[in-house]
Amino acid sequence: MSPLQLDPAALAKLPPGDLSENIGHRVMNLAIAFLVLQSVFVVLFYISRYLNKMLNGWECWLFMPLAYIFCTALCICGVLAVKIGGEGRHIAAVLLEDPNIVTNRIKIDKAVEYIDLAAITSAKLAILCLYIRILSLWRSYRIAIYLTGTIIVLTWIAAILLSTTICHPYSYQWDPTIEGGHCGDMIRAYQFICVPNILTDFIMLLIPLPAVYKLHVQLPAKIGIFATFLTGSVGIVTSVLRMLSFLNDAQLLNDLTYNSIPTFIFTIIEAGVYLIAACMLSLRPLKRHIFKDKSFTKWVGSYLDRFSRGSSQGSISFGGLK
């Protein structure tokens, strides 16, 4: 059954209260929260780069602004999905009120398809730009970074083509009354696009590890450097969660405006987390400026020193954890 068609039998089975139930505030609140959060991190990113005299490069003037614009657009789509797309309400209730609301919701979904991967692609390329700055002295790392960037861009292009051609004609997605129109399996398409996205996350996590391992620095410094690089791949968690949200496709399509809440939430979170991760990779100069000599790695170093001394004396002190 099309999302724009009301099944009388399904309507009769709705429990009392379903017609008035509305959980759209979950998407609304999250969208507003991420709009504020990612704005703060972007401002901190540019302040940190300014303090470090590194307001240059593709990441500063192209990829980061694009990622922020697209992530902001996703948050706006989340708000619009609730306000004019019936997001959070059962589709039967929405159709009873006005079928055009579901049409709006599907059109917003279509916009999200284009915006989402553009946001993720921009943020990932910003992260890879930082990798290039740090690891460009080694040819093998440069090759790995450029190959990863190529996969990311090709995934983005494939997603655009897939989203554009999956329904014939294009408007059949929100107007199933068009004769001869048809669509491919859109849920499978979403799942397919998630795979290379997660793959590049893993690659981006692995790329700097050999270089960090070979560094001739103390363990606390290595931990700090690894933690910095790790922030660039935290999006992998949200990518996996989002892919899992697409697995129960039958339930998702049966009540599009209600059951899509987790999917929409993870879509906003995923893109926002990538943007925040890209910002966090450059915040160390700002942290040093604010906290001066205080740092997590120094705390780890002092704790390990006490641990070593305690071990050599036959006892271990956990005072550093207090």
Closest CA to 228 of 178, 288, 176, 169: 288
Rounded-to-integer distance, Cα 319 and Cα 322, Å = 6
What's the pLDDT at 36?
A: 96
60 vs 288, residue with greater confidence: 60
Rounded-to-integer distance, Cα 293 and Cα 290, Å = 9
How confident is residue 69, by pLDDT bands cut at 50, 70 and 90? very high
* Rounded CA Rg of the chain: 24
Could you tell me what percent of the chain has a pLDDT over 90?
A: 33
Examine the pLDDT at 7 and tell me if it is beyond 80.
no
Joined together, the tokens standing for residue 1 give: 């059954």
Neighbouring-strand partners of residue 89: 22
β strands within 102-198, DSSP E: 167-168, 182-183
pTM of the model: 0.82
Which amino acid belongs to residue 147? L
Closest CA to 265 of 40, 87, 68: 87
Segment 156-165 mean pLDDT: 91
Which amino acid belongs to residue 281? L
What's the pLDDT at 26?
A: 94
Choice among 59-63, 174-178, 205-209, 238-242 with the minimum mean pLDDT:
238-242
How confident is residue 225, by pLDDT bands cut at 50, 70 and 90? low
Segment 70-75 mean pLDDT: 96
Segment 183-204 mean pLDDT: 82
- Contact status, residue 116 vs residue 131, Cβ threshold 8 Å: no
Rounded-to-integer distance, Cα 236 and Cα 232, Å = 9
Choice among 117-121, 281-285, 302-306 with the minimum mean pLDDT:
302-306
Which amino acid belongs to residue 265? I
Which amino acid belongs to residue 224? G
What's the pLDDT at 320?
A: 33
Choice among 22-36, 210-224, 229-243 with the minimum mean pLDDT:
210-224
Sign of CA dihedral 169, 172, 177, 182: positive
Examine the pLDDT at 251 and tell me if it is beyond 50.
yes
Choice among 20-24, 97-101, 166-170, 281-285 with the minimum mean pLDDT:
281-285
Q: Residue 187, exposed/middle/buried by CB under 10 A (0-12, 13-18, 19+)?
A: middle
Closest CA to 6 of 91, 115, 132: 91
24-52 residue pLDDT tens: 999 999 999 999 999 999 999 999 888 88
Question: Tokens 């000599």 identify what position?
Answer: 293
Choice among 68-82, 145-159, 189-203, 232-246 with the minimum mean pLDDT:
232-246
- DSSP codes of every residue in 237-273: HHHHHHHHHTS-HHHHHHTHHHHTHHHHHHHHHHHHH
Question: Tokens 């859109």 identify what position?
Answer: 186
Joined together, the tokens standing for residue 156 give: 């983005």
Q: Among 9-18, 63-72, 99-108, 220-229, which range has the highest average pLDDT?
A: 63-72
Segment 289-299 mean pLDDT: 59
CATH of 23-284, one of 2.60.40, 1.10.3470, 3.40.390, 1.20.1070: 1.20.1070
Could you tell me what percent of the chain has a pLDDT over 70?
A: 76
- Contact status, residue 316 vs residue 304, Cβ threshold 8 Å: no
Rounded-to-10 torsion of CA 208, 214, 220, 221: -70
Rounded to the nearest angstrom, the gap between the alpha carbon of residue 64 and the centroid of all alpha carbons in its chain is 14
Choice among 15-19, 234-238, 286-290, 318-322 with the minimum mean pLDDT:
318-322
DSSP code, position 231: G
What's the pLDDT at 309?
A: 45
